[in-house]
Amino acid sequence: MSADQELFDSKFASDEDRQAVLDEGPVFMGGRCLVIGPWTQNVEIQMKSLNTIPIWVNMHGVPKVMCTDEGLGFIASKVGKPHCQDRPTKERRQLDYARVCVEYKVNETLPDSFNIRLSPNNVRKISYEYPWIPK
């Protein structure tokens, strides 16, 4: 493996190992996203033209009735396309907030909050927190 400030270049002993890493897709390490892709001569240009990128979003104030895969997916979809939940959220062990990985469009503004109507007289405010936002 070799690296600079923006790229990690890895070589694999077998094509099967290389393909397994490529198939896995983005990886989070230390709360940061590593976008995985095959090397090309234009990799630096491709990096600058990324339209979407996965990020973690912490969602505060989620009503218990919305703490389902469908409910969390709906709330997370206000930020971007939901991909997965972290383990404490998936196992419903995290009660302070729900943490979901979403693919967000880099040219769009990230919302601070979202109001959801649970019933005619019950509107709840969900607030979003972003532990890391890419440059």
Whether 101 is covered by a domain: the verdict is: yes
Q: Is the pLDDT of residue 3 over 60?
A: no
- Asked if residue 26 is part of any domain, the answer here is yes
Judgement on whether residues 22 and 72 belong to the same structural domain of the protein = no
Query: 134 lies in a domain?
Result: no
| Tens of pLDDT, residues 62-107 | 999 999 999 999 999 999 999 889 889 999 898 889 999 998 988 8
pLDDT for the residue 6:
66
**Residue 121: which domain range?**
52-129
Q: Is the pLDDT of residue 8 over 80?
A: no
This model's pTM is above 0.85: no
**Backbone CA torsion sign across 82, 87, 91, 96:** negative
Instruction: State the total domains in the chain.
Output: 2
Does residue 17 sit in the same domain as residue 76? no
> Does any domain span residue 107?
yes
Domain assignment present for 135: no
pLDDT band at residue 51, thresholds of 50, 70 and 90? confident
- Given this model, what pLDDT does residue 1 score? 56
Look at residues 57, 56, 61, 55 and name the one whose alpha carbon lies nearest to residue 127.
Answer: 61
- As a whole number of angstroms, the distance between CA 81 and CA 8 comes to 26
